[in-house]
Amino acid sequence: MKTPKRIEPLVQEGFVDTVIRQLMSGKEANVYVVRCGEEIRCAKVYKEANQRSFRQSVNYTEGRKVKNSRRARAMEKGGNFGRKAQEDAWQNAEVAALYRLAAAGVRVPRPYNFVDGVLLMELVTDENGNAAPRLSELVLTAELARDYHRTLITQVVRMLCAGIVHGDLSEYNVLVDAAGPVIIDLPQAVDAAGNNNAFDMLERDVNNLASYFGRSAPELLTTDYAMEIWTIYQSGKLTPETKLTGQFERIVKPVDVDEVLQEVDAARDEEESRQRYKKEFGD
């Protein structure tokens, strides 16, 4: 096929020899199958902000560090340069996360190069050498659902040990090759230590997995891995080898009715005092 304009720089630099076909068009990017010497890889071409259906959110970007102070100031002020810097940071977050997670032993596509908004990485394939299907495309037995769920919870723990929460993990962001699940799509990856929303993101990721696999193995719907994982993480004792039970007893503090009534009375008294003051002295 004709080489997409965004991939031309990689061809000119010798990173890519031929574009074979388009693999997919997603909310974040278009992905192409490319030939690089004797290897078949994929090129992820990020869409511009106005073409994406997934919007950046401060919930995801909180805690991310921008080394270039000029870029950091520009991002705060906005403007064309600032928006371009935000786009670069958003894309670089996935590249950095992939390198970091691959080094930590997490099953993610291996990254090779990142040039002008195009990420060149491993093409995840099935046992026949074809592009691996998404988890959402598979029909699972109860046994396979339990196996894949256990594998992905282990990967979530390994990611957290590396300081990262996926932030958008579901059956649509997991490929399945001959060896099992492979986690993809990480531009929204959350810094576990620097983001105040990290636990909420982790809990959503874990609950998404339980909901999906629970269709085939209903007992998974009653697990609470998120709170168990996060509690151990906060204690500083979480490791990739930590044994989990999937159970956690959440302590719900009983409501103190007298305390609530006292707060209501105090608020009412404060409002009455404010109204009296306004009547006597005006605004």
Residue positions annotated with a catalytic role: 168, 185
Spatial contact of 163 and 216, defined as CB atoms under 8 Å apart: no
Q: What is the distance of C-alpha 266 from the center of its chain?
A: 44
Which residues is 118 bridged to in the sheet?
Answer: 45, 115
Spatial contact of 11 and 29, defined as CB atoms under 8 Å apart: no
Which residues is 191 bridged to in the sheet?
Answer: 164
